[in-house]
Amino acid sequence: MPPKITFPLIIIFAFLGRAQFCQADDKAQQPTDVPLPRVIEYPWMNLEQWRAFHQGDLDRAKAGPVDVLFLGDSITECWDTRGLEVWQKQYAPLRAANFGVGGDTTQNVLWRITEGGALNGIHPGVVVLMIGTNNIGLMKDAPTDIAKGVSAVVSSLRELLPEAEILLLSIFPRGETPDNEYRLKVVATNKLIEPLGQHEHVTWLEMWNPFLKGDGTMSKDIMADFLHPTTHGYEIWAKTMKPTLEKLQRKANQG
């Protein structure tokens, strides 16, 4: 696991809302396996909103037991909106918590679960993790670097929640066609992170074909923007993941 490094200047700028502190040239200087809070504002989420999401996770952790934890970016976050009906049926009865935040990269998730203290006081039996697509789409990181970041998140989870079973999901397909630039980078990244599933208490689950047509193209009925699942997409996610999740829950309860 990478050392817990603190960058006071970066943190000061982030929490003062200096969204332009990280310009495009700085993106390449952000190691994917080092914890960093959000320092870039987007039209769909400013820094105040990001901090509010994180505070909501802290509040949820204090509110009561969490048996299943979902951790990731906007694809996970949207269980609270497009996937809400499925969530209420499938996961609310499991005392599940949703710690997905739109726009998050591996660096941001690392910060939230380490310096940010999002896991303090909770002991989930299963952690469902998917992260990395924003490193591709927003940060333009190489697959090898993204894999380092995902590995660091998994290592941190293993250290902070040693008894938890980690369900590592492949990054979902993105882009309408198989030759889409983002799609190709997702494929390359998934190949690099799949071996993490061989580690103790880590299970890899390929979440790919159920979202695609036979020719590899993607339907807007499943992902309207070719990135985020629709309500139907969340139904597919839940159905595909259910057998593995139930298996890991039984394993966690026996442990």
Residues belonging to the active site: 74, 225, 228
Bridge partners for 240 per DSSP: none
- Exposure string for 77-88, b = 16+ CB within 10 A, e = fewer: bbbeebbeebbe
Bridge partners for 168 per DSSP: 129, 204
Measured CA to CA, the distance from residue 61 to residue 167 in angstroms comes to 20
Measured CA to CA, the distance from residue 44 to residue 113 in angstroms comes to 23
C-alpha separations of 230 from 78, 193, 237 in Å: 9, 26, 10
Contact 168, 193 (CB under 8 A): yes
